[in-house]
Structure formats: C-alpha cells, structure tokens
Structure 1
Amino acid sequence: MGMPHVVVDDAGYAYPGRTVLEHVDVRASAGDRLAVVGENGSGKTTLLRLLAGDLAPSTGEVRVVGTLAVVEQEMPVAPGATVGDVVAATLSDVRAVAAELEAATEAFDHEEGALGELTALLARAEHLAAWDADRRVTEALSRLGACTDLDQPLAELSVGERHRVRLACRLAERADVLLLDEPTNHLDGAGIDYLTAQMMGWRGVVVVVTHDRQLLDDVATAILDLDPAMDGRPVLYGQPGYLAFRFTKNQALHRWRQRYRAETKRREVLAARLDASYEGLSDEWRPPKGSQKHRRGTRARTHVKAADRLIERLEAQAVDVPVPPLELAFPELAALDPHWSLGAGDCLLEVRSPLVAGRLDLPGVRIALPASGRLLVTGGNGAGKSTLMAALAGTIPLERGTRTVHDGVRVGVLGQEDTTLGQDDGATGFELYARHALRLLDAGRLDPTHVVPVAHLGLLDEEELDRPLRELSVGQRRRFELACALLNAPHVLLLDEPTNHLSTDLVDELTLALVRTPAAVVVATHDRRMRDDLATWPALEL
C-alpha cells in the first residue's frame, strides 16, 4: 500500500448551481499536520468529504493512501444507538486486523510463504496495538470528558457529548490518515491538551479543519487557506504558526482592498468622463440654429469617435479585481438608554445564588453587570457554564436564587448549540431574521427604532441570506445566529462559546469588537486564545 499520503491536484467541487471549491493543490505525507482554514462556506468540510471519499471531485484529482478515520462536526444518530455501539465498531475494526494476523500466522508456509506480506501485516498490527485497544478507548473517553457509560443512548447526549465519544474512538483507531472537522469545539482545556498530544504524536497524516488559533500554533506544519486570494486561488502557507499566517494574510488583504478601491474610483472617474462626452453630442457641438447645417453632422461624428476611443481605453485599462471578502461591521451598541436614571450601585442585569439541580449551584454568588460591564466565564465541560449563561439570559428557570433586569434593557443571546431558529421549514435567512424580530417584539425585547439590519453586519451576503438556512454550512448558520443576537441592538450581550464554527478571521474581528463595544458583555469560552485576549476582564471560573 505504501506510506500514507494525501494528494489534491487542482481539485474543485460544485453543488448544483454553486461552486464551493476551485484550484485546490496540496500534498501531505506521514508526519504532516495540515490545518485547513477559511471563511464559513468556503468549502472546508467539502474538502474533508472529498478526502474521505464521500464526494468525487468535479475537477482535478484527489488521492488518499492509507486507512481513514473521520470526525465530522455533526454526528448522525441511528435510532437506539448507544455509546457502546460506537466503541464496539472501533474495537471490531482493530480486532479484525489482529484476527487477520493470527489467521495468516497459522496458515503461513515457512518454506514457500510470502514473508513480506506477513511482515507488513505484523507491522500493521503492531502499529494498531490491538491488544491495547480497550485501554486506549477507555483512556480517550476519560481524557476527553466523554460519556463512559456504554449503555447510554446517543440520542440523549448533547451535540458536544456525542462529538467527544466519536473523537475518542477515532483517536483510539490509529488510522493512517486522520481527518478532523473543528475537533476542539466541544472540548475543555484538559481535552484540548490530550487531543494536541495525540495529534503531535500521530504517525500518519493529519488534516484538521479548525478555527482554534492556538491549535494552529501548536500542531500545524502548514496552513491551507481556502479563502480565495486576489487571483481567485486558495493559498498554502508553509511557514508554521498562526501569527505568521495572520500577518501575511493581512498584508495581502490590505493590498487587495487598496487595489479594489483604486480600481473602483478609476472606473467612476472614467465613467463620468464618458457621460460628459456623450452629453456633448446633444449640446456642446450644436452651432447656432440655421447656420452651417452640414457642420452639425461632422462635429457629431467627431464627438462619437472621441467617446468611442474613451470606451476602448477604459476596456483596455480595466483590471478585473474581484470584490474583497466581507468584513465584520459590528453595530454601534449603546451602554444604556439616556432616559434611565441609574444609581452608582445599579446594574443592568443581576443573578444571585442561582441553582439548577444537577447542573449549577452557586450559593452566595452575585453576578452583576453594570453598564459596559465585562465578565469572562471559564471552566471544564460539565462545570455549568452554559447553564449559567441560560440563567443570565432568563431562558432557564431557577430553583433557587433571583434574576433581575433593569427595565428597558435589551439582551442579545448567542447559545452554544446550533438552534438555527426553525430552519427546517425551508425559510430563508431574511425570512427567519424577520420572524425573530417579531418574536422579540412580542416579548417586549425589541425597540422598533433600534433594529440592526442583517445585511449590514458583514456576516452573510445577500445571496446567502436569500437561500434556505438549512442549505448553509454549520459555520454560516453560526454567523446567522450571531446576527440574531445583535438584531435588537442589545445593551447586554451574552455569548456562549462564540468562536465555535467561526473562521479565524471572524474570530479575530469579533474579539476586537467585544473589547471595544460600549455594551456590557459576558463571554463563556474554552478558546485559549480568546481567553488570553480577554485576560484583563473580570473572570468567574466554575
């Protein structure tokens, strides 16, 4: 079979009516850890599906040599399936190799047998360490904070809990080529450390789609950016490290935007000159009425020719500069309403001693957000971060404690799970945004004079918003939910794992916006780089 490797040669893929990948070139061999980044909808998950063999490229070639292990963002759940079923599938694959080796050893002809084949099979079994597979699975489940109850139905687990079960089993398989789609989304610090160590020691090829900037620093030997450059092609950055990638890309984006602005301005100037030239055909060249009537046609032809020459120069000098990528246009949020009369100790939002049985218990704890307040919430999986965020948002009842909101305060909420706001009925982003606005209005959480238009945020373009939400990628849906959190121009923003499924570019832009906004902000995150960026904020570790 040869050494494991991955080859993508000028590959592209198009869904009906929509091209998502073009001109992708990359090669990776054993020991390489290729990180794939790009804006939501740029084709990152599609590329992984091409590598996994789930899709065939529309153009070019994709070749993968070696056994495969794939961890998708979303794990489909078969009716009645349990954690034990996932574990059993992993162990059966490993044990099949052990059984094949045992059968080959027993049947081996020491006089005429093919020793090379037996040696290769033995090496394969030793690499998989079949005798150690049970321990590896148990260790991976434990280290990633996954469910270890084999009888637990998968349907009763959260998205993050199912993800950790699948990831643990795939790591235990020791495949030649490991394909990971946003693997750190549902991991805490200890889980990320374990995953990082596993990836660093992987003997085969690792291809990881990730927005985790620290993971890019820690493991990537190269970064493939699927966002097209000015020439329309993805870029492979061979120099490791996120900061080097970020600096180089920022320089390229700056040049692109400068050139686009210059070309747009030049076209506007030439178009104005052209309009003026044609306008002269009806006014400037006309002689006084009744005099030299034959000159009128001659001068008309002269002006037409001059205008035509200007058109020719315009077309000859035109440079096809594509529109640069969207930039986050974070809205101007107010810290408070000018009509409010807040005392020195008054807060916009307060929660005291919250209790949700089995999920959160903070006796004697007061969480108070003043105008423009900040709070960073951290803690391991299961510590209660999402429950606390729901308590602050008022979307979960408290069995003890109180929640108080100042009259008139608008709260924007981004939850951790992908709710997609009723996407299954085929409604477009524009339609769902309008429905969300009406729900907020009915609940008294929206001032009609303070509505943030979704198309003005730089999160999704109009073409994407005109499509049914269920047709968008996980990352694009996450962008939509962020837009919904900003719809009512909130005085308080509650963001639970805001970096999940978002591109590295958008995470950088969002982090800067959260630091600068006058609104009060609470962020619960496991993202190590974001925690570092917000290290000066008051913090609550659960």
Structure 2
Amino acid sequence: MHLVATDLAFAYPGRPVLAGVDLRVSAGVRLGVVGENGSGKSTLLHLLAGDLVPSSGEVRRTGSVGMVEQELTAPPGVTVGDLVDATLADLRRLAADLEAAAAAFDHESGDLAELSTLLSRAEHLAAWDADRRVDEALTRLGAVRDRDRALETLSVGQRYRVRLACRLAERADLLLLDEPTNHLDDSGLDYLTETVVGWHGGVVLVTHDRELIDDVVTAVYDLDPSMDGVPVLYGQPGYLSYRFAKNQALQRWKQRYRTEQQRADELAFRLDRSYEGLSDEWRPPKGSQKHRRGTRARIHVKAADRLVEKLKAEAVDVPPPPLELAFPDLPALSPGWDPAEPLVDLRSPRVESPDGGVRLDLPGTRLAVPPSGRLLVVGPNGTGKSTLLGAFAGTLPLARGTRTSSEGVRIGVVGQEGRVPDGGADARRSSESGFDAYAAEALALLDRGELDPEHLVPVAALGLLTEEELDRPLRELSVGQRRRFDIALALLHAPHLLVLDEPTNHLSVDLVDALTIAFERTSAAVVVATHDRRMRADLAAWPVLDLG
C-alpha cells in the first residue's frame, strides 16, 4: 500500500475546505480526482504529498512521492538544467552509491543482503537510466531542452512541461498530478497517457479532461458535496459511467430532500392546529369538559413536537445547488451592420517578438469570421495558435498583414495564461474582491467606448462564482476559480465575438460540459483554440484551421 488517508480534514482560516476524506492508493491504482473549482482538489494533493498538515485525520505513505503542481514558480536565475538536476539528484546518488558499493564489495566478508537491497532499489527505479528518460520525456512533451534556458523566460505552459518531464523520469512510487493535460498537445497527451497507464506505482491525478478519465483512470473520487456530507468514490471506470452514477445520486438526494420538506410542512401544519387548540378562541364554553379538551390538545402538541424533533434529527441537508452556468444572451449584430460582412478580417499576419524573432508568419492566409460564425483552431504546441488568436483579437501588433473589424465590434478574449493575477504580478489588483475587479473592468471598458451600459452582464448572474467567492480577494481564489473569473471578464460587455485560447484549462468537468453546449448555442461568433480532445470532437462540425 503506497498511500492511506483516513478521515482527512483541512481548513484555511475561517474557511473549511475538506472533510471526511478516506482513500487508499496502491500500485496500479490511478485515481482521478474531480470536483467544482474551489472544492479542494489541489489542497488534497498537497495534503497527500505532505506539504500541508491536516486539521484532523492522518495520511500514511510508503515509498517516494513526486508531485506536479498546476503552476511552477520561476525563481530568478534557475535554469532548465537546474530543475532537471534537482529532480534527479536522488536517483543519481542511488546509482553512484550502487556503483561504489559494487566496486568495493568484498566477496569474502561483504554484506550481500545490503548490496542486494541497494541493487533492488536501483533496479526498481532504473536509476542508471534517469538522464535518458528525462531527455525522452522533454522531447515527447515538446518541452524546452536547452539546459541553460532560464525558467523565468519560459511561458507557464513551457515551465509546466519541463516539470512534468522531470517527474515522469523520476519514477516515484506515488505520482501526484494536478491538471496534467492543460499545456499538452496531442503528441504530449499520447505520451502522458502511455506513461501513466504503465506507471509502476500509484497515481492520483486531478483533471477536467474527460478523455483522460476514459483512457487512464481506474476510479473517480468526487469532492463535490454529497448527501452524506463526504466525498464519494465512484469505482466504475469511464467518464460516462461516473457522470451517470453522480446524476443518479444527486436525484436521490433531491428526492429525499423534497420528501423531508413535505413531511416537515405537514407536521408544522399539525403543530399549528394543536397550538390553536390551546387558545382562548378554541376553548369550549363552561360545562363542556374544557379541562379534558385542553389536556387532549396538550397531548397533541407534545406528540407533534416529538415528531418535529425526530424529523430534524433524521433530515438531510439541502442539496447545495451546484453552480449552473447561465450563459448570457450575446448579440450577433449591432444595428446597421451588414450580416454578410465579417466581424474581423485578418490577412497574411506576421507577428514578431521584441527581439526581432518570428512568432507567426502566415503569408497568403485569410482569417475572416462573420456574425454568428464559428472557427476551431488546432495544431501542436509551438505552431502559433495563441499568437494567431492575439493578432486576430487585436491584442498583438502585426509586423506585416492587415486586420480590419466592424465599427463598434465588441470582442471578449480568454487567453491561455489568464488575466487575473495570483498576487505576485499585481499585488494591488490581486487584493481586490471579484466584485471590485469586475466593476473596475467595466469602468475601463466604458472609458474606451467598448461597453454599452444597457448590455452589461452582471457577474453574479453567470453562475461561474458564488457571491461569497466574489467577495473574497482574487489572490485567495483557486487557479480554477480565477479561470472562471477570466471567463466572466470576457462576457462582461456582451461581446459580438468570443476568442478563447484553451478555455477548458483549470476548469471542472461539469463546467467544461456546460461551456461546450454554450459555445454551440450562442448567437455570438466564437473562435476556439484547444487541445481538449473531447471538446474538439464535440465541435467537429465547426470549420477548422489546422496550423500543424
């Protein structure tokens, strides 16, 4: 057994996060952890890794642990080579110890059991093969292989792929992955799937990727609220099986709650009638056994009180209504526009980096999206999808080519790396509440003439974040909750055109399903770049631009 968590609970100051967590992970188990953004998925991984101390309960681990977080900080001066060396240090030390022990072994008096233990451990981890494995992983994941490249010069996705490659090469007994598919293209996804399926130890992975759940996961652990108040383990593999079982459980919970409410209403009515029997208006006139009638009424009241108390003791909590996406009614056109004219027309774009390097060069290419149009942009990492979307949305300048747009067109943009700071990049903004940041964005759009006050979309009406979450500083939100806020900012001014770069990154599986449906149904034009295999299949009828 590699990992056992018993009655685990954790709370941040004033905010409970997890309770009643019980799970076991042994070799061959690949546990998928799901749940709404903010339900504690990343916190659970840190508890399992030993980075956080639980409020109650315990975690028992045997063997080594390797964890890949959603975001990797980049200390100044640290290079790709430094990260590789730090990750593989223990394996290299083990290989060196084995080599030294074998060279110095005395066949007459040496401890053969000690040497055998060291050899067995080295074989288990294939310690002498670590450098080849990390080089292969960097290549297969499309990660930066230049050992001298500083991590701070890499994008979030590039840093993540370097860290993931190192951890996969490390071959820990317990592998903990937080949204491992966020920054991978098809080739990287194939390598990740192949590696995790063949993992020699146990795996716990937080994921929104429905295809990965189908291909890899042996059981699903759902942190969303349940009727019993504890997380639920769904042992049947496959996303559709999990979804069916969860929907059935939720329906049973709601039905029981409706039954309890009906019983409570009936008993309350009986209690009211019984209390009325004790009032002066109910009492009979003199000589008609009023004391006997009053005694009977008191008996009825006591019986009703006992039933009400019994009901309260046995009642279930109200099913917390899961956040349901309320996608706004976005416009296709503004008055006076020609429906045959494209909202944005981009031709022969070339985008250069500040140092003069070429980020994107598509001579002879035209990208035009009409009102209510659709476009799916695909291709491997490094082919320029994000740069193309930036040029199309007007957020990146063109070194060559032209971009024209309809006068007054409103564009909502969701970038791959997001706009909401986590606290370091912009301390002032990250300390604002969601409501305050949303109001500031609205005022900025209004100043630029990009917001019609009559079309303002209220953030609390979207079903992306609760009012309690919107009242908290942005830096206190989880990565997934900040991603939800990014989507809300894109919808604020009721755009005619949505441009979304990897919109499923960091989101819960429930929201990914809801967003896919919304993209298909909205009247606004939508351009999506995504590696999400299930989303690409769901949007297969859309026109496709393949940069590969």
1:148, distance to aligned residue in structure 2 (A): 1.0
The answer to whether the 8 A contact 2:257-2:316 is kept is no
In structure 2, which of residues 113, 118, 135 is the aligned counterpart of residue 116 of structure 1?
113
Residue 244 (structure 1) aligned with residue 273 (structure 2): no
Give me the whole-angstrom Cα distance separating, in 2, the residues matched to 1:349 and 1:269: 61
In structure 2, which of residues 58, 76, 80 is the aligned counterpart of residue 83 of structure 1?
80
1:366, distance to aligned residue in structure 2 (A): 2.1
Residue 134 (structure 1) aligned with residue 139 (structure 2): no
**Which residue does the alignment assign to 2:379?**
379
Q: Deviations over 1:221-246 (max 9, x none)?
A: 11111112111111111111111111
Give me the whole-angstrom Cα distance separating, in 2, the residues matched to 1:322 and 1:125: 53
**Which residue does the alignment assign to 1:401?**
401
**Which residue does the alignment assign to 2:95?**
98
**Which residue does the alignment assign to 2:322?**
326
Given the two structures, how large is their TM-score scaled by the length of structure 2? 0.89
The answer to whether the 8 A contact 1:40-1:475 is kept is yes
Residue 369 (structure 1) aligned with residue 365 (structure 2): no
1:323, distance to aligned residue in structure 2 (A): 3.4
Residue 443 (structure 1) aligned with residue 441 (structure 2): no
Q: What is the DSSP-based 3-state SS (H/G/I as helix, E as strand, rest coil) of the residue aligned with 2:167?
A: helix
Instruction: Describe how 1:136-215 pairs up with structure 2 within 5 A.
Output: 136-215=133-212
The answer to whether the 8 A contact 1:285-1:296 is kept is no
AA aligned opposite 1:524: A
In structure 2, which of residues 456, 459, 463 is the aligned counterpart of residue 454 of structure 1?
459
AA aligned opposite 2:386: S
**Which residue does the alignment assign to 1:464?**
469
Runs of 5+ unmatched residues, structure 1: none
**Which residue does the alignment assign to 1:340?**
335
Give me the whole-angstrom Cα distance separating, in 1, the residues matched to 2:365 and 2:292: 89
AA aligned opposite 2:346: V
Give me the whole-angstrom Cα distance separating, in 2, the residues matched to 1:437 and 1:211: 30
Root-mean-square deviation (CA, aligned residues, Å) is 2.9
Residue 30 (structure 1) aligned with residue 30 (structure 2): no
The answer to whether the 8 A contact 1:386-1:416 is kept is yes
Q: What is the DSSP-based 3-state SS (H/G/I as helix, E as strand, rest coil) of the residue aligned with 1:335?
A: coil
Instruction: Describe how 1:40-59 pairs up with structure 2 within 5 A.
Output: 40-59=37-56
Greater shift in the superposed pair: 29-38 or 101-110? 101-110
- Closer, same or farther: CA 441–481 of 1 in aligned 2, 3 Å: same
**Which residue does the alignment assign to 2:344?**
349
1:266, distance to aligned residue in structure 2 (A): 6.7
Q: Deviations over 1:35-83 (max 9, x none)?
A: 1111111111111111211112221111111112111111122221111
1:161, distance to aligned residue in structure 2 (A): 0.5
**Which residue does the alignment assign to 1:515?**
520
1:211, distance to aligned residue in structure 2 (A): 0.9
Q: What is the DSSP-based 3-state SS (H/G/I as helix, E as strand, rest coil) of the residue aligned with 2:240?
A: helix
Aligned length: 534
Q: Deviations over 1:352-400 (max 9, x none)?
A: 2221122222222222222221111111111111112212221111122
1:296, distance to aligned residue in structure 2 (A): 13
AA aligned opposite 2:328: E
Q: Deviations over 1:228-272 (max 9, x none)?
A: 211111111111111111111122223334444565677678778
Residue 317 (structure 1) aligned with residue 311 (structure 2): yes
The answer to whether the 8 A contact 1:331-1:489 is kept is no
1:152, distance to aligned residue in structure 2 (A): 0.7
AA aligned opposite 1:336: A
- Closer, same or farther: CA 129–306 of 1 in aligned 2, 3 Å: closer
Residue 65 (structure 1) aligned with residue 62 (structure 2): yes
Given the two structures, how large is their TM-score scaled by the length of structure 1? 0.90
The answer to whether the 8 A contact 2:465-2:485 is kept is yes
Give me the whole-angstrom Cα distance separating, in 2, the residues matched to 1:444 and 1:317: 58
**Which residue does the alignment assign to 2:416?**
416
Q: Deviations over 1:130-180 (max 9, x none)?
A: 332222221111111111111111101001001111111111111111111
Give me the whole-angstrom Cα distance separating, in 1, the residues matched to 2:347 and 2:298: 78
AA aligned opposite 2:501: D
Q: What is the DSSP-based 3-state SS (H/G/I as helix, E as strand, rest coil) of the residue aligned with 2:395?
A: coil
Greater shift in the superposed pair: 310-319 or 296-305? 296-305
Give me the whole-angstrom Cα distance separating, in 2, the residues matched to 1:296 and 1:431: 65
Q: What is the DSSP-based 3-state SS (H/G/I as helix, E as strand, rest coil) of the residue aligned with 2:24?
A: strand
Greater shift in the superposed pair: 180-189 or 508-517? 508-517
AA aligned opposite 1:150: R
Greater shift in the superposed pair: 256-265 or 39-48? 256-265
Q: Deviations over 1:324-349 (max 9, x none)?
A: 24232323323334x62343521223
The answer to whether the 8 A contact 1:326-1:458 is kept is no
Q: What is the DSSP-based 3-state SS (H/G/I as helix, E as strand, rest coil) of the residue aligned with 2:220?
A: strand
Give me the whole-angstrom Cα distance separating, in 2, the residues matched to 1:29 and 1:510: 35
Runs of 5+ unmatched residues, structure 2: 353-357
